Structure formats: structure tokens, C-alpha cells
Structure 1
Amino acid sequence: MKKVFALAIALLISFSFLAKTVDEIVVKVNDSIITKDEYEKRLSRTIDAFKREYKGPDFDEKLKEIPEKLLNQMVEELLLIEKAKQMYQVDMIVKMQVENFMKENGIKDEAELDKALKAEGLSLEEFKKQVLLIYVPEFMKSREIRSKISLSEQEIIDFYNKNKEKLQGKPQVHLEEILFTKDKYNEETVKQAYSDILLSIAKGATFSEMAKQYSGAYSRQNGGDAGWYLPDDLSPEISDVVFKMKPGQVSELVETKQGYYIFKLVEKKEPKVPTMDEARAFVIEMIKEQKFAESYKQYIDQLKKQNYVRLNPKYV
């Protein structure tokens, strides 16, 4: 419970707009503001998250987009909260979310929650305000946009026919492996072991038997059976080799950070275009997401016209 609680608190704090100290205002939506300190803290956390997901040129390109996208996102969140206050009992939405949070974390009442929050440096009131900032925008998206999306059977058929070539999956390979770890083998000894294995296989031994004898991988106990993989599941140096192989073929030595690998391609599944029935659920989800994006933009554009929104020119 403590681990779940700590993770949830960390998430809530990461969205915090609460420290209304004297600070430069970056965004103002009616009477709600986002300060420089709040914006920069969230910007820093967002950049850190992107660093974990993207590398090299991809990250550099994404980095250019982050400040503007984050600023727009924060404006949209405040606009959705403003609209929610006009349409719903926002306090009840927050109350239900707090109760759900308490139930999930085994907290019996608000007094116990308050005590736990204080240990994390938060008051109950601050916690409720942060719940408001996280959950109310999502509530509005669900209630006012997603729930009103509809689609016809003809739309599903048309989307499938137009995009079915793009819907085909990726190839998959079933591999057996032998790993020579670098703490036990060097470049010279691994080449000798590789030659010995090929000679044994030529004389009738199976790759599985060789894996049990030589491999330092966990799959050794399964005779080297490593299972099925998609291209993205494997490191580039391995993927580039195994997806060019034919069933039954044994690879050359492949050097990686873990050591030297030999692979046997057991089976390969080529990608195929799914039938309408196979693709139906995915197609429906794709259409709904497209419609949501269009409707959400229209909804936000309308809210911007109905509310006072000011962005500090320094941050635009």
C-alpha cells in the first residue's frame, strides 16, 4: 500500500499548481493563474520524461516542441476546469476521486489520509486541489466529448478498406539462442566454441543440446528456447541478423553488450493484412480517436472564445 500511495502522491505533486507565491505569471485563465515557478517545474519533469523515451536526434526534435505544447496543455486544463465549474458539482467529482484513492490505498477515513499526506509534505486541502487539477479535465473530456462520439457501420467499413494495408502487423520470429558471456569468453575462445558447436550440429547434435551445454542465458534450461519476438523487441544488432534468416538456419556470432550470441531461427511469421473481423475493434478505436481529436479541438477553441485567456509574451 505504501508503494502505491507514494507513487500516487508523486503523480499529484507533479501536476501541482498550488504555490501561489509572488511570482511572474505565465498564464491567466479568468481568475486562475500559472506562475513561472509552476510552469518551469512541470517543464523540467516533462523534459525528463521525454529523455527516457527518446534519444539522439529524435529527442532534439521533440525538445523544440515541448515548451509550447506544455503551455497549451496547461491552458486547456484550466479551461476545462472552468467549464466543469459551470456545469457540474466539481466538489462532488473531487470527493469521489478522493474516496476512490482512499479505498485503493486502504485508508479508512480523511483523518488517516490527512496524517499520511502530512508525512509526504501535503495538507488535505492541497491534495484535493491537486486531484481537481488532474481528474476534472479528464472527466470533462470523457463526459462532454468521448461519450458523444458515434460512428456508423459504413464508417467502419470505409476506414478498413482505405487503411487495411497499413493495418498489417509486423513479422515475428521464434528463436533459440546460445549466449557466451564476456566474463567467461573472449574474442578468441568464443570463435573456437562457435566452431565446435557447428561441428557438433553437423555430426547430428541439436541446437537445443548445444544450448544446454554452452549457453549462459536463462533460456539454457529450456534448451535455448527464447520464444517469439517482434523487430522492436530486439536490439538492432540482433534484429538485423535474425529477421534475414530462414527457418532452421543458424546465425553467425552476434556481439552485444551482454556477450556473444548464436541464434537459430525456429519459425518466422510474415505480416498479413487482417480480416475485417480481426481488425474491427482496432478500427473502431482508431476512428473514435480521430473524432475525439477533432471534437476536442473545436471544444477548446470555443472555450477560448468564452473565457479570458492571457499568455505572457515571454513564454509564447
Structure 2
Amino acid sequence: MKRITKSIASTTAALLCLAGCAGANKAAQPAPAPLAQAATEVKDAVQLVNGVAITRAEIERATRVLLSQSGAPQQLPPDAMQKASQAALDQLTMAELLYQEAAKIEIKDLDQQVEKKIAESKALYPNPDAFEEALKGSGLTVAEMTRNARKSIMINTFIEKRFASKVEVTDAEAQKFYQENQEKYFTRPENARASHILVKVDDKLTAEQKQQAKEKAEALLKRVKGGEDFAAVAKTESGCPSATVGGDLGTFGRGQMVPPFEKAVFAMKPGEISSVVESQFGFHIIKLVEKHEAGKVSYEEAKTKIFEYLKAERVRKEVTSFVDELKSKAKITRV
């Protein structure tokens, strides 16, 4: 089932993510900039799309995004890296053409949508300094991130209005897909979903410091066993990045977590809170949210994902065809 979920994400996420990678050097505009202006003002331009520059920095950033999404290492042999960069440029060109079309339609409450998206991004970090540090690491300023968010929202809205809102999938089509792909998509290995609170330790700590960390974990265990909200305690006390989402680790199967953690999780019942579990990362307090035995996923369980997948595939094909048409009419030049 995870495979079909991944497929759904990959049909739409890459383009919208790359839409945010482009345009960092230019403010959002109601129409593309003139050719002469783009050529003279953007010094590291690699390609012009109807006069709007795609820069080397944007291509490098987009390449990192593509490699990350595909699970590939960030450092590849030269020929493979060249192919990845070309794929990124192709996606950026696609995004720019869609953005130019999106700029022609009115989008209500666009500023508010942008503000909401930025606020959601900031909320993923424990404090403003952590957000600024992450932004700095990505090579973006707040202003650039805001412009990128605007562009992404505009493209997303355009795709929804022009294509997605008109695509329909019938129950018969969904059932046919389910029957033809049961072995490929609709088998489920044993898996669990859990949250945890982590008191971190490392090799540099003394024996006394490790004991203090364990005692802190025991104290936190008493709090959650005593009725305090697990997610709230995780948000304020956990040393894991998952603290921002209340300690939620999502769904995982066997072999994906360190052995002590896995052993504890798969021995628990949903709703249970473990005793303190020690691993190389520190001391964990685990709450099992749900657990599923290996088996087939029923049609009713899979139905929503199937509809999403079939719709996303149709939208992707229509958008690709539309962009091909735009390319045939566009002026695209390498600099």
C-alpha cells in the first residue's frame, strides 16, 4: 500500500516542489519579464523561458530536491549528475511555463494563502532560530522563500482549476485497478505506528550524565502514565525532531527501527505506553498508536488512495500534454 501512496505523491509533488525552486531571483509578477531585462539583470542565467531566466543556482537547488525525492545520493558520477541536472532544468522549465499561465488567472486571498504556507513551514521547527538556520542551509532568504511559496500556490491553483476539478474517476475504474494490481500494490507487511519521547545520550556523556538522562526519562514516563498528554510532553521534552509533531514517527515495518525499539513496539498493544527503552540514541518512551498484521489490503481500505492515484495520473498526463503545447509556442533559449 505504501508503494501506491508513494506513486500518488510522486505524480504531483515534484513539480510543485520545483516550482518553489525557481524564481528565487525575481519577484512574483503578473506577467513574464521582457527578454532584454532578464538577459541583462540575471548574470547566472542558463536558460530563458519567454524571457524569464532560470539560473544555475536554481538548477542546482532543484537537482538536490530531485535527488532527495528519489532517494539517490547527493554526489553522483559526472554523467549521472548531468542527467539529473537536465531533468531538473526540464522540470523548472515546465514549472515556469505553468507559472506564466497561472499569472493570467485571478486567485482570491493569494497573500493570505502565502502567509499561511510560510507559517506552516515555521511551525515545523521548535523555535525561530532553528527555522532561520534551516533556511540558511537551503540557500534561501525569507523573501525568496515567500516568493517561491507564492509561485507554488499559483501553479497548484491553476492545475486544480484547469485540470483536477474536471477529472472524474468511477468506482468501476477503481475496482478494476484494484483487481488488476492486488499483488503489486495491495499486500501489507506487518507494520506499526508509534510515537516516542527521546532523552538523548551520546558517547561523550559520563556514566553519571547517562544515569541522569535515564532518571529524566523515568520521570517523563511517570508523567505520561499519570495522565499527561503524550504528544504535549513529547513536544516540550523530546530530543527527537519528531517532537514538532508530538513524537509521531508514522508507520514503519520490521527492520526499519533499531532493534531495542522494534522489539518493544511489536510486543505492545495499541494504546500502550512502554517502560523506558534504551538504544544507542538514548532513552525512549514509546506509545503504540496502531499495529497491523501482514495480509492483503481490502478494496474499502484502499479505495480512497486508488481514487487519488487514478486522478493524479490523469491530471499528470493532461498537464504534461498541456506543457508540451506551451513549449511548442514558447521561446526557450539557452544562454
TM bucket normalised to smaller: 0.5 to 0.7
* Residue from 257, 265, 268 that aligns with 2:281: 257
Is 1:152 the counterpart of 2:152? The answer is no
Aligned to 2:56: 40
Looking at structure 2, the residues matched to 265 and 22 of structure 1 have their Cα atoms a distance apart, in angstroms, of 53
Q: How many Å apart are 1:156 and its aligned residue?
A: 0.6
Looking at structure 2, the residues matched to 152 and 144 of structure 1 have their Cα atoms a distance apart, in angstroms, of 20
Which consecutive aligned stretches of 4+ in structure 1 deviate over 6 angstroms post-superposition? 11-14, 50-55, 102-105, 126-132, 173-182, 224-229, 261-267
Aligned to 1:292: 315
Aligned to 1:230: 251
SS of residue in 1 equivalent to 2:333:
strand
Q: How many Å apart are 1:34 and its aligned residue?
A: 0.8
* Residue from 164, 176, 186 that aligns with 1:167: 186
Indicate if the aligned counterparts of 2:167 and 2:311 stay in contact, CA closer than 8 A.
yes
Q: Deviation per CA, 1:183-235, whole angstroms, max 9, x where unpaired?
A: 6858x99xxxxxxxxxxxxxxxxxxxxx9x99536234344998997326974
Aligned to 1:305: 328
Is 1:68 the counterpart of 2:86? The answer is yes
Indicate if the aligned counterparts of 1:175 and 1:264 stay in contact, CA closer than 8 A.
yes
Aligned to 1:26: 46
SS of residue in 1 equivalent to 2:48:
strand
Q: Deviation per CA, 1:106-142, whole angstroms, max 9, x where unpaired?
A: xxxxxxxxxxxxxx997xxx99987874444333322
Normalising to structure 2: TM-score of the pair?
0.52
CA change 1:104–1:142 in 2 (3 A) is closer
Please tell me the residue identity of whatever aligns with 1:15.
Answer: A
Larger-gyration structure (1/2): 1
Indicate if the aligned counterparts of 1:50 and 1:59 stay in contact, CA closer than 8 A.
no
* Equivalent residue pairs, number: 252
Is 1:221 the counterpart of 2:223? The answer is yes
Aligned to 1:282: 305
Aligned to 1:201: none
Q: How many Å apart are 1:155 and its aligned residue?
A: 0.9
Q: How many Å apart are 1:71 and its aligned residue?
A: 1.3
Looking at structure 1, the residues matched to 153 and 289 of structure 2 have their Cα atoms a distance apart, in angstroms, of 48
Q: How many Å apart are 1:157 and its aligned residue?
A: 0.5
Aligned to 2:124: none
* Residue from 12, 15, 18 that aligns with 2:24: 15
Indicate if the aligned counterparts of 2:24 and 2:148 stay in contact, CA closer than 8 A.
yes
Please tell me the residue identity of whatever aligns with 2:258.
Answer: P
Q: How many Å apart are 1:279 and its aligned residue?
A: 1.9
Indicate if the aligned counterparts of 1:181 and 1:216 stay in contact, CA closer than 8 A.
no
Q: How many Å apart are 1:24 and its aligned residue?
A: 5.0
Is 1:97 the counterpart of 2:110? The answer is yes
CA change 1:96–1:176 in 2 (3 A) is closer
Q: Deviation per CA, 1:44-79, whole angstroms, max 9, x where unpaired?
A: 544676798898x64446993652233122211332
CA change 1:235–1:53 in 2 (3 A) is farther
Looking at structure 2, the residues matched to 136 and 61 of structure 1 have their Cα atoms a distance apart, in angstroms, of 33
RMSD across aligned positions (CA) = 5.5
CA change 1:131–1:268 in 2 (3 A) is closer
Normalising to structure 1: TM-score of the pair?
0.55
Q: How many Å apart are 1:290 and its aligned residue?
A: 1.5
Looking at structure 2, the residues matched to 138 and 291 of structure 1 have their Cα atoms a distance apart, in angstroms, of 15
CA change 1:229–1:79 in 2 (3 A) is closer
Looking at structure 1, the residues matched to 60 and 310 of structure 2 have their Cα atoms a distance apart, in angstroms, of 34
Is 1:139 the counterpart of 2:162? The answer is no
Gaps of 5+ in 2: 1-19, 28-36, 119-140, 231-247
Q: How many Å apart are 1:287 and its aligned residue?
A: 0.8
Q: How many Å apart are 1:292 and its aligned residue?
A: 1.8
Looking at structure 2, the residues matched to 127 and 178 of structure 1 have their Cα atoms a distance apart, in angstroms, of 31
Percent of aligned positions with the same letter in both sequences? 15
Gaps of 5+ in 1: 1-10, 106-119, 190-210
